[in-house]
Structure 1
């Protein structure tokens, strides 16, 4: 919860990837409060008030996952809304002929994006979701200690740079909102 709030203020891309990881952790805990108590909460240090707050946050996420039938997969609506905001921003930025930096980075990652789409993305999946899924998969493979080709590592560096610019532009657009939270 504390990490999520900080990431949301500082880097919306990292926030979204973090929340996807939290969704998967909750699924690993069988989408139950008992699972959260046993699997996730022991990792937290803090006073009882903070732990109660974290417990309540996970409880809310569990309730949302159950209500939205996301126990087996998919992303919570709160996360899908952020993704849609990022997709809309991407469309605005990529259609602006005067934004050379963004367009240049987009065209640089376009071959990787096309290649990712060729590997079978979900129907209706748009650019940013495809890129985020690739980064999430890359992070997962890295955490598992799996071997990752040099080509994939280079693509991930380019994609990460592109997503960092998108996150920066998102923050610029939402600066006032971010300051008040």
Structure 2
């Protein structure tokens, strides 16, 4: 909960990946709040008030997972909204002539996106979602201490740079600094 709050304010891309990880963590515990509290939350050394807050947060996420039919897979609506905001911003940036560096980085990453789709990624998925899926997949492989090929490492490095640019533009947009009215 505390990590999510911090990331939401500072790095929307990392926030998204973190929340996807939380969704998977909840699924790994069988969507059981009592198990999460006993086997996971208890390991962090929180005080009683913090334990109650974190338990409530997980309880709300579990409720949403159940209500939204995400017990087996998929993402919560709250996370889909963030990704959609990033997709909308991505499209605005590409449509504008004011962001040539972003457009250049996009075309640099596009072959990796095409390759990911060729290797089995959802072809109907937006390119930004494909980028996030790639980053999440590699993050999971690293957590499992699995080998990542040099080609994949290079692709992920490029995708990370691209998503980082989008992340920076996201916060500029939220602060009203991106698409300023011109005289």
Instruction: Quickly name the TM-score band, shorter chain normalised.
Output: over 0.9
> Per-residue CA shift, 1:132-178, capped at 9, x if unaligned?
000000010111111111111011111001001101100111137xx
1:74 aligns with 2:74: yes
Alignment partner, residue 119 of structure 1:
119
Alignment partner, residue 28 of structure 2:
28
Asked whether the equivalents of residues 33 and 59 of structure 2 are also in contact (C-alpha less than 8 Å), the reply is yes
Alignment partner, residue 144 of structure 1:
144
Q: Relative to structure 1, is the Cα distance of residues 111 and 20 closer, same or farther in structure 2, using a 3 angstrom cutoff?
A: same
Q: What is the TM-score when the length of structure 1 is the normalising length? A: 0.94
In the TM superposition, residue 116 of structure 1 has moved relative to its aligned partner by 0.7
Alignment partner, residue 44 of structure 2:
44
Measure, in 1, the Cα distance between the counterparts of 2:79 and 2:42: 25
Structure 2 stretches lacking a partner, 5+ long: 177-183
Matched ranges for 1:7-22 at <5 A? 7-22=7-22
In the TM superposition, residue 121 of structure 1 has moved relative to its aligned partner by 2.3
Asked whether the equivalents of residues 105 and 162 of structure 2 are also in contact (C-alpha less than 8 Å), the reply is yes
Q: What is the TM-score when the length of structure 2 is the normalising length? A: 0.93
Q: Relative to structure 1, is the Cα distance of residues 52 and 28 closer, same or farther in structure 2, using a 3 angstrom cutoff?
A: same
In the TM superposition, residue 123 of structure 1 has moved relative to its aligned partner by 4.9
Asked whether the equivalents of residues 44 and 51 of structure 1 are also in contact (C-alpha less than 8 Å), the reply is no
Of 152-161 and 120-129, deviating more is: 120-129
> Per-residue CA shift, 1:12-62, capped at 9, x if unaligned?
000000000000000011001122123321232221111110000000000
Q: Relative to structure 1, is the Cα distance of residues 39 and 123 closer, same or farther in structure 2, using a 3 angstrom cutoff?
A: farther
Measure, in 2, the Cα distance between the counterparts of 1:123 and 1:85: 20
In the TM superposition, residue 122 of structure 1 has moved relative to its aligned partner by 2.4
Matched ranges for 1:161-176 at <5 A? 161-175=161-175
Measure, in 2, the Cα distance between the counterparts of 1:2 and 1:45: 13
